[in-house]
Chain A
Amino acid sequence: MIIGNTKPLEQILSMVEPFDRIVVAGCYGCVTVCRVGGDKEVQVLASALRLARAAAGRPLDVREVTLERQCDPEYVETMRPYVGDYQGVLSLACGAGVQFLAERLTASPILPAIDTTFIGVTERQGEWAERCQACGDCVLHTTGGICPVTRCSKSIFHGPCGGSMSGHCEIAKEVPCGWQLIIDRLRALGRMDQYEKLRPLKNWRSSRDGGPRRIIREDLTQ
């Protein structure tokens, strides 16, 4: 899922400073699961904004709403009937959701309340870690299900670098060496032949090269 982090309240307050009536919009997708943008977080942020503004003597009228997803048009459209009654929308969705609101609700300023951080997993309650950089050319079948692009701090593709020490990355002791993880896993699976295979250079054209990416599925388009 997409993982995010709530922006500092001070920053959010300065974003909404010009406004007296706003919508605070959450999303029931990824940001609900990583606890930054669901119903509860909408309520907490809306309360915090109202408190801060009331204490400053400039009350803020906040409408609280949580969409099924902010990255699908049918749910964004549910905001259209009332969004014009407000001066802006503070979105707790990921960057995709914020941009999609901005694209469709063109008359309203759309403000991000969270910093979208990475694609990751819940390692334990309250702890999330990155697992994928969406490079567009997955090689996990050859690396024991561990991504060298994400888990190796240098995104190296052909084994550990000289900075790997006792299974740790040279950037920080608490970061495991991605390639050590890959090799340990391939050994455990009895698939070290995958590591020994020479592989062609990775095709990075599916990654950040060539501008914004797009997928068109002819079997689904109407």
Chain B
Amino acid sequence: MILKAFENGADGVMVVGCLEGDCHYLVGNIRARRRVERVARILAQTGIGAQRVRMVNLSAGEGAKFVSHAAEFDDHIRELGPSPINVVRSKAAAVPAAAQAERPGGPGGPGGPGGPGALRTEAAREQR
């Protein structure tokens, strides 16, 4: 699911699990962390970058903390810039758009999902 998010254009994914030792599914959040680590290894191997996925542990009552984690992750991803996939896709999209713009009256400018600067931070709650 996390890899799919990157395929679909996410620049970063933050996975939020409940506090360790306090999971309704006992070790669900521990397993989730290991799986996130595996995803990070895959992202490193595929050239996307391991630092684009992160797991944090929060309780359902830590709304303010969630906001600060999300904001910090958002800054972190903005600093990294768009994922290499989005860079390639936006370049590919820019070529026909530029060709169209050259035509008299043709619509110009890139746009749509995956363009440069497009940032999607997807926080998925792994376990309640």
Binding site for B on A (CB under 8 A): 9-10, 43-44, 47-48, 50-52, 54-57
Contacts and interface: CB of A to CB of B under 8 A. Distances in A.
Interface stretch (B14-22, B38-46, B119-127): B38-46
- Interface residues of B, dominant DSSP: helix
The interface residues of chain A, by DSSP majority, are classed as helix
Interface of B: 3-4, 6-7, 42-43, 45-48, 83-85, 88-89, 91-92
B42 A44 contact: yes
A64 to B, nearest CB: 12
A122 to B, nearest CB: 17
A180 to B, nearest CB: 34
Contact of A47 (B3, B88, B91, B92): B3
Nearest to A8: B45
Contacts of B84: 55
B7 A51 contact: yes
A210 B18 CA distance: 59
Which among B3, B43, B83, B92 has the highest number of chain A CB atoms within 10 Å? B3
Given A54-B85, A55-B85, A47 B7 contact: yes
22 contacts: A9-B45, A9-B46, A44-B3, A47-B3, A47-B6, A47-B7, A48-B3, A48-B42, A50-B7, A51-B6, A51-B7, A51-B43, A51-B47, A54-B7, A54-B85, A55-B47, A55-B48, A55-B83, A55-B84, A55-B88, A56-B88, A57-B88
Nearest to A50: B7
Given A54-B85, A55-B85, A9 B42 contact: yes
A50 to B, nearest CB: 6
A50 B9 CA distance: 12
A218 B69 CA distance: 68
Contacts of A44: 3, 42
A35 to B, nearest CB: 11
A48 B85 CA distance: 12
Contacts of B6: 47, 51
**A-B pairs, 9 with minimum CB distance:** A47-B3, A52-B46, A55-B84, A51-B46, A55-B47, A54-B85, A9-B45, A57-B88, A48-B42
